[in-house]
Amino acid sequence: MRQGDLARAVVGVARACLRRGFARPNMPFRNRVTALLDIEHPILLAPMDVVSDGALAAAVSKAGGLGLIGGGYGDGGWLEREFVAAGNTRVGCGFITWSLAKQPELLDRALDHAPAAVMLSFGDPTPFAERIHAAGAKLICQVQSLVQAKEAADAGADIIVAQGTEAGGHGAARGTMTLVPEIVDALPRVPVVAAGGIADGRGLAAALMLGAEGVLMGTRFYASREAVGHAEAKRRITAASGDDTQRSIVFDISRRNVWPAPYNGRLLRNAHMDRWLGRENDLMQNADAEAARYAGARDAGDFDTAGVIAGESTGLIHDLPGAAEIVTRVAAEAETLLNNGARR
Ligand SMILES: Cc1cc2nc3c(=O)[nH]c(=O)nc-3n(C[C@H](O)[C@H](O)[C@H](O)COP(=O)(O)O)c2cc1C
């Protein structure tokens, strides 16, 4: 057999195997994000303030994704403890950028633990980019608009997380479906990860089709065994529909933590939100009494008053598995969908 014939025969057999599903083309999951972060599955745990602790982050990383500890508003002691709790597992962490700017020394405490990546959300990453890169960590910037994406790229972001309005927690107005491909088209040199409304393999497959090279999930991992959270809050996430979530500033006023524009927070609607939505000025007039009532409800696990932070993907979540199962399930579902699509 001549060399050309042999090559053609090998290609023919390989194609037949693919058609029959004997070999699976894993190519969708080898991309710039998996290479940059040195991970198997392009799945990132959102650095959810307090919810994403060291144990949850480590569980996601051990399953082949990347766990990001939720640095949130910045509690140095908590951050130290959670890096220690993650042990030798490669994890990263995230900060709320405008809050980090008030205590920038927290970044050094995080960098002392050699994080794989630092994610900055909600504010200008420029003042922190150099230190993050100098420490050998990747800079991930979460953005809510094309303008912010370009600023993040200028600041040296290694990866941009395009967060759509469907997301749980703080965010802005653009939807994931258009924000992701618009940023992908505008910034071909920077890999994009999609966030907001993604909770299963369909979401990961769709994100990859939009040109993203990974997903970052918050609400899905909140409803996991390891996540730090009240059992009743997790139960409500498994029971709620996407219709039951709402962006507002009611929650921020009630806990005396109002954010700079344009951010507001998506939570599950409850009696407290229904009472004050559209009457935020009245709520501010009653802020002292309502803040005390709100804090008490949070301590007591009364989620008719205290808020459950969750995105529209709550409607896709019906169980409380371990974080590793979430990673492997989402990756396997997406792979099957993409393979079936390729065969069609
Ligand atoms: C409970 C909760 C807390 C969050 N806290 C933070 C945070 O502290 N910092 C941050 O950058 N993003 C935070 N987010 C937003 C996530 O980074 C992410 O954009 C979002 O969870 C993605 O949408 P999804 O919830 O539909 O997966 C939080 C989200 C949730 C659900």
- 179 with 255, same domain? no
Helix (H) or strand (E) holding 186: helix 176-186
From 44, 45, 48, mutation site for ligand 1 pocket: most ligand atoms within 8 A of C-beta:
48
User: For residue 15, what are its two tokens?
Assistant: 């194609």
Alpha-carbon gap, residue 303 to 316, rounded angstroms:
20
The pTM assigned to this predicted structure is 0.92
- 135 with 237, same domain? no
- 245 with 143, same domain? no
- 164 with 96, same domain? yes
- 42 C-alpha to ligand 1 centroid (Å): 17
CB 70, CB 51: distance < 8 Å: yes
- 164 with 216, same domain? yes
Cis peptide before 260 (omega within 30 of 0): no
* pLDDT digits 0-9 by tens, 150-175: 999 999 999 999 999 999 999 999 99
* pLDDT digits 0-9 by tens, 181-198: 999 999 999 999 999 999
Return the ligand 1 atom nearest residue 221 CA: 27
- 160 with 188, same domain? yes
Domain harbouring 63, CATH code = 3.20.20.70
- 41 with 189, same domain? yes
Q: Is 63 inside a domain boundary? A: yes
- 250 with 114, same domain? no
Q: Is 4 inside a domain boundary? A: no
- 195 with 271, same domain? no
Range list of β-strands (E), the chain: 43-45, 68-70, 92-96, 117-121, 138-143, 159-163, 169-171, 192-195, 215-217, 245-248, 264-268
Return the ligand 1 atom nearest residue 119 CA: 11
Predicted local confidence at residue 5, as pLDDT: 54
Nearest CA to ligand 1 atom 17: 46
Residue 16 has pLDDT above 60, yes or no: no
- 121 with 177, same domain? yes
Residue 248 belongs to domain spanning: 231-312
Q: How many domains does the structure of the chain reveal?
A: 2
From 170, 204, 316, mutation site for ligand 1 pocket: most ligand atoms within 8 A of C-beta:
170
Q: Is 22 inside a domain boundary? A: no
Ligand 1-lining residues (CB < 6 angstroms): 46-49, 51, 70, 72, 94, 96, 121, 142, 163, 166-169, 195-198, 216-220, 222, 309-311, 313
- 297 with 333, same domain? no
Return the ligand 1 atom nearest residue 167 CA: 23
* pLDDT digits 0-9 by tens, 215-264: 999 999 999 999 999 999 999 999 999 999 999 999 999 999 999 999 99
Q: Which of 176, 169, 175 is nearest to 52 (CA)?
A: 169
- 245 C-alpha to ligand 1 centroid (Å): 14
Residues paired with residue 169 on neighbouring β-strands, in sequence order: 266
